[in-house]
C-alpha cells in the first residue's frame, strides 16, 4: 500500500516537473527536485524557527552532538543551513545563481553568519551540510534558519521560498520574556504549512523551576487561545545542557518526540507531498493560463500589459510608501488619543486607588513578619482591578478604531491590487490580500488576560536592614510599594496598546515587502510569456494552434493531478 502510494506521489511530482521543464518554469522545477529528493530518501525537513537568539542553532548543535553551526550573543545566522546524513562530513555552499562550492566544515561561519556574510551579500541560497549523525540517518533533515524578522520580511525571495518546503517545524521560544507577538507571527506562519508544530522553550537553565512552569502554562494558554492548539507538544529544555550531553528538564521527552516523528514520518511526508503537489499544480495552472493568454492575444497587447505593469510597479512603490506614512501618522494619532483617555481615566480614579492602597497598607502594619514579596503581591489585586476597568472601557473603542483603520488600509491597498489584476486578467493579487485583512488587526487580547508582574528575580530596590524594627521597615517600603503599584498599572495598560501598535506595524511591513516581491515576480513572468509567444508566433499559425492544444492538454492533466491529490 505504502509502495503504491509512494509510486503515485513520485509520478505526480515527476509529471509536474516534466511540464514545468517543457515550459522553462525553473522555479517550479527546483521545488520539484527538492520534494523528489525527500520522497526518494524518505526524509523530511524539520525546520527550526524562532525569534533572534532563542537558541535555534545551539539546539541543532545539541541534537547532532557537535558545535557545527555558529552561535552567539548577537544575531548570528544569516542564511538557511540544511543538515543531512552522510557517512562522511562535508559542506556545500549552494549559491543563488545555481553554482556550488565545497567548503571545510570549519569555514561554515564564513557563509552562515551575519558578521561574515552581512545580509547575504555572498548570494548564498543555502548551505548543505552532511554529517554521519545517527539522528540524521533516521530520515530527517535538520534546517537552521535566521531569526524570524529576517526570514519573513527579508526581500530575498529564496529564503521565503525555502519556507514552502517545511514538512515539520520546531518553534524555539525563550523563557524571557514569554511568547511575544513576534513569536505569535512565527506560529501563525508555520501553522499555514505544518499541522502540528513542536514548541520548545529554551534556556530554562537560567530560570527557577517555578518560573519555568509559569512560562510554560502561559505559553500553552496563549497557543490555545490564539490558535486553538489543544495540548501542544511543548518542551522546556536547555540546548546548553544538551550540547554538554546533560539530560535535564524535558530534554529526554523532546528527544522521544523527535523519535516519534521519525517513526511516523510517512504521514509527515504524505502531508507534505499533498501540500506541495497542490501548491505546485496551482502555480503551474496560473503559468499555463498566462502563456495561453499571451498566445491567443496580439503580441502588442501583452507588451502593452508589461509596460503598464512596469509603470504600475513604480507607481505602487510610491503609493505604498505614502500609504505607509499616512497610516503611521494615523496610528500615532489613535495611540495618543488612547493615551489621553488613559490619563483621564486614572486621574478620575486616583482618589479611589490611593484610598485602596492606604487601606491595604494599614493592614500590612498588622502583618509585619511577612516576606517582602507578600506585600508586593498584595498590590496585584488593586492593580488588576483598575487595569481591567480601564480595559473594559477602552477595548471597545480600541477595537473600533483599529478595525476601521485596517479596513481603510486594505480598501486603499485593494485599489492597486485590482489595477494589477485588471492588467493581467486574473484575480491573483486581490485574492492574496483579501485574506490578510483580518490578520492586520488582531482581536488578540492575551496580555489583557495575562497580567504582567515582577517575577522570581526580584528587581526591588528595597534592602531589608536587619537592625531596623519590622514595623518601621514596612513604613520605609511605603513609597516603594506605591511606586510599584503605579508601575503595575501603567505597564499593563501601556503594554496592551503598545503590542497592538507593534503588531500592526509588523503586519504592514510584511504585507508591503511581500507585495513588492510579488509584483517583481509578475513582471518577470509576463516578460517570459512575451518571449515565449514571440517565438511561437514567428513560427506561424499552425505552430500557435498546436501549442495552444498542448497547453490545453497540460492544463487538464494538471487539473487531474489536483483532483487526485485532494480526493
Ligand atoms: N543559558 C543558555 N544559553 C543558551 C542556550 N541556548 C543558546 N544559548 C545562548 O544563546 C545565544 C544565542 O544562541 P544561538 O543558538 O546563536 O541562537 P539563534 O536562535 O540561532 O540566534 P540567531 O541565529 O541569531 O537567530 C548564544 O549565546 C547561546 O550560547 C541555553 O539553553 N541556555
Ligand atoms: Mg542561529
243 lines ligand 1 (CB under 6 A): no
Please report which ligand is nearest the Cα atom of 74: 1
Distance CA 445, CA 372 (A): 31
Rounded to 10°, the helix 265-296/470-538 angle is 50
76 lines ligand 1 (CB under 6 A): yes
Output b/e per residue, 221-233; b: 16+ Cβ within 10 A.
ebbeebeebeebb
Class of domain 44-263: alpha beta
Q: Looking at the CA of residue 76, tell me the nearest atom of ligand 1.
A: 24
Distance CA 512, CA 318 (A): 12
Q: Looking at the CA of residue 52, tell me the nearest atom of ligand 1.
A: 25
Q: What is the pLDDT of residue 13?
A: 92
Tell me the three cell numbers of residue 528. Answer: 517570459
CA 53–ligand 1 middle distance (angstroms)? 5
148 lines ligand 1 (CB under 6 A): no
145 lines ligand 1 (CB under 6 A): no
178 lines ligand 1 (CB under 6 A): no
Q: What is the pLDDT of residue 361?
A: 92
238 lines ligand 1 (CB under 6 A): yes
Determine whether 61 is exposed, middle or buried from the number of CB atoms within 10 Å of its CB (0-12, 13-18, 19+).
Answer: buried
List, in sequence order, every residue forming a beta bridge with 102; answer none if it has no partner. Answer: 92
Q: Looking at the CA of residue 54, tell me the nearest atom of ligand 1.
A: 19
12 lines ligand 1 (CB under 6 A): no
DSSP string, 323-388: HHHHHHHHHHHHHHHHHHHHHHHHHHTHHHHHHHHHHHHHHHHT-TTS-HHHHHHHHHHHHHHHHH
CA 61–ligand 2 middle distance (angstroms)? 10
Mutate to test the pocket of ligand 1, among 48, 55, 241 (most ligand atoms within 8 A of CB): 55
Residue nearest to atom 14 of ligand 1 (CA): 55
Q: Looking at the CA of residue 73, tell me the nearest atom of ligand 1.
A: 27
Residue nearest to atom 2 of ligand 1 (CA): 203
Determine whether 325 is exposed, middle or buried from the number of CB atoms within 10 Å of its CB (0-12, 13-18, 19+).
Answer: exposed
Best CA proximity match to 56, nearest among 138, 182, 148, 129 = 148
CA 47–ligand 2 middle distance (angstroms)? 12
Sign of CA dihedral 14, 41, 81, 271: positive
Cα angle: 175, vertex 179, 180; to 5 degrees = 125
Q: What is the pLDDT of residue 532?
A: 92
Best CA proximity match to 428, nearest among 413, 418, 442 = 418
H helix or E strand, kind and range, residue 47: strand 44-50
Q: How many CB atoms lie within 10 A of CB 188?
A: 14
Q: What is the pLDDT of residue 459?
A: 43
Q: Looking at the CA of residue 74, tell me the nearest atom of ligand 1.
A: 24
The residue behind cell 496551482 is 282
Mutate to test the pocket of ligand 1, among 63, 71, 173, 242 (most ligand atoms within 8 A of CB): 71
> Residue 480 has what DSSP assignment?
H
Please report which ligand is nearest the Cα atom of 147: 1
CA 334–ligand 1 middle distance (angstroms)? 37
72 lines ligand 1 (CB under 6 A): yes
Q: Which residues contact 523 (CB under 8 A, 6 or more apart)?
A: 306, 309, 310, 313
Distance CA 393, CA 395 (A): 6
Please report which ligand is nearest the Cα atom of 53: 1
150 lines ligand 1 (CB under 6 A): no
62 lines ligand 1 (CB under 6 A): no
CA 72–ligand 2 middle distance (angstroms)? 8
249 lines ligand 1 (CB under 6 A): no
CA 119–ligand 2 middle distance (angstroms)? 14
Residues lower than pLDDT 70 in the chain: 1-9, 75, 149-162, 177-178, 181-182, 427, 434-468
- Cis peptide bond upstream of 78, omega within 30: no
Residue nearest to atom 3 of ligand 1 (CA): 203
CA 94–ligand 1 middle distance (angstroms)? 25
77 lines ligand 1 (CB under 6 A): yes
200 lines ligand 1 (CB under 6 A): no
CA 401–ligand 1 middle distance (angstroms)? 39
Q: What is the pLDDT of residue 231?
A: 92
State pLDDT tens for residues 78-133.
889 999 999 999 999 999 888 999 999 999 999 999 889 887 889 898 999 999 99
Distance CA 32, CA 18 (A): 10
Determine the 3-state secondary structure of 235 from DSSP.
strand
Q: Looking at the CA of residue 58, tell me the nearest atom of ligand 1.
A: 15
203 lines ligand 1 (CB under 6 A): yes
109 lines ligand 1 (CB under 6 A): no
Phi and psi, residue 62, nearest 5°: -60, -40
Residue nearest to atom 23 of ligand 1 (CA): 77
What does the domain layout of the chain look like in residue ranges? 44-263, 300-538
Q: Which residues contact 254 (CB under 8 A, 6 or more apart)?
A: 198, 200, 235, 237
Cα angle: 511, vertex 515, 518; to 5 degrees = 140
Please report which ligand is nearest the Cα atom of 50: 1
CA 7–ligand 1 middle distance (angstroms)? 42
Q: Looking at the CA of residue 77, tell me the nearest atom of ligand 1.
A: 23
Q: What is the pLDDT of residue 335?
A: 85
Please report which ligand is nearest the Cα atom of 151: 1
Amino acid at each position: 500500500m505504502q509502495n503504491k502510494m509512494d509510486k503515485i506521489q513520485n509520478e505526480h511530482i515527476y509529471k509536474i516537473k516534466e511540464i514545468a521543464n517543457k515550459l522553462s518554469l525553473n522555479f517550479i522545477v527546483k521545488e520539484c527536485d527538492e520534494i523528489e529528493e525527500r520522497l526518494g530518501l524518505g526524509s523530511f525537513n524539520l525546520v527550526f524557527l524562532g525569534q533572534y537568539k532563542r537558541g535555534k542553532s545551539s539546539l541543532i548543535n545539541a541534537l547532532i552532538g557537535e558545535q557545527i553551526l555558529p552561535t552567539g550573543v548577537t544575531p548570528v545566522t544569516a542564511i538557511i543551513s540544511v543538515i543531512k546524513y552522510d557517512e562522511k562530513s562535508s559542506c556545500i555552499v549552494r549559491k543563488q545563481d545555481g553554482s556550488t562550492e565545497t567548503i571545510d566544515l570549519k569555514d561554515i561561519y564564513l557563509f552562515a553568519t551575519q558578521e561574515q556574510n552581512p545580509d547575504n551579500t555572498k548570494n548564498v541560497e543555502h548551505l548543505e551540510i552532511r554529517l554521519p549523525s545517527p539522528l540524521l540517518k533516521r530520515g530527517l533533515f535538520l534546517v537552521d534558519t535566521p531569526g524570524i524578522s529576517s526570514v519573513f520580511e527579508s526581500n530575498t525571495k529564496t529564503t521565503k521560498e525555502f519556507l514552502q518546503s517545511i514538512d515539520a517545524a520546531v518553534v524555539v521560544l525563550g523563557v524571557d520574556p514569554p511568547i511575544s507577538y513576534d513569536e505569535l507571527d512565527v506560529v501563525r506562519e508555520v501553522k499555514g504549512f505544518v499541522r502540528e508544530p513542536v514548541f520548545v522553550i529554551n534556556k530554562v537553565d537560567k530560570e527557577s523551576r517555578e518560573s519555568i512552569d509559569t512560562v510554560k502554562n502561559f505559553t500553552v494558554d496563549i497557543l490555545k487561545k490564539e490558535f486553538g492548539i489543544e495540548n501542544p507538544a511543548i518542551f522546556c529544555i536547555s540546548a546548553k545542557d544538551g550540547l554538554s550531553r546533560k539530560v535535564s528538564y524535558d530534554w529526554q521527552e523532546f528527544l522521544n518526540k523527535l523519535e516519534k516523528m521519525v517513526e511516523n514520518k510517512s504521514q509527515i511526508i504524505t502531508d507534505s507531498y499533498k501540500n506541495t503537489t497542490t501548491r505546485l499544480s496551482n502555480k503551474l495552472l496560473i503559468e499555463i493560463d498566462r502563456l495561453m493568454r499571451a498566445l491567443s492575444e496580439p503580441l502588442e497587447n501583452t507588451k502593452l500589459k508589461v509596460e503598464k505593469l512596469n509603470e504600475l510597479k513604480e507607481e505602487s512603490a510610491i503609493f505604498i510608501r505614502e500609504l505607509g506614512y499616512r497610516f503611521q501618522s494615523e496610528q500615532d494619532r489613535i495611540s495618543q488619543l488612547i493615551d489621553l483617555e488613559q490619563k483621564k481615566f486614572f486621574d478620575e480614579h486616583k482618589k479611589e486607588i490611593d484610598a485602596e492602597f492606604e487601606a491595604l497598607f494599614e493592614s500590612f502594619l498588622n502583618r509585619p513578619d511577612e516576606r517582602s514579596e507578600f506585600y508586593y503581591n498584595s498590590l496585584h489585586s488593586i492593580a488588576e482591578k483598575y487595569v481591567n476597568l480601564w480595559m473594559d472601557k477602552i477595548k471597545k473603542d480600541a477595537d473600533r478604531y483599529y478595525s476601521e483603520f485596517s479596513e481603510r488600509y486594505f480598501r486603499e491597498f485593494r485599489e492597486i491590487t485590482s489595477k494589477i489584476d485588471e492588467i493581467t486578467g486574473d484575480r491573483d493579487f486581490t485574492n492574496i490580500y483579501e485574506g490578510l485583512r483580518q490578520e492586520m488587526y488582531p482581536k488578540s487580547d492575551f496580555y489583557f488576560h495575562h497580567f504582567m508582574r515582577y517575577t522570581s528575580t526580584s528587581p526591588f530596590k528595597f534592602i531589608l536592614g536587619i537592625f531596623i524594627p519590622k514595623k518601621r521597615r514596612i513604613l520605609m517600603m511605603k513609597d516603594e510599594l506605591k511606586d510599584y503599584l503605579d508601575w503595575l498599572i501603567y505597564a499593563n495598560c501601556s503594554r496592551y496598546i503598545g503590542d497592538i501598535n507593534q503588531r500592526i506595524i509588523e503586519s504592514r511591513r510584511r504585507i508591503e515587502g511581500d507585495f513588492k516581491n510579488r509584483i517583481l515576480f509578475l513582471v518577470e513572468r509576463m516578460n517570459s510569456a512575451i518571449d515565449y509567444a514571440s517565438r511561437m508566433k514567428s513560427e506561424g499559425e499552425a505552430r500557435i494552434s498546436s501549442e495552444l492544444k498542448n497547453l490545453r492538454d497540460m492544463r487538464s492533466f494538471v487539473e487531474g493531478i489536483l483532483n487526485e491529490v485532494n480526493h
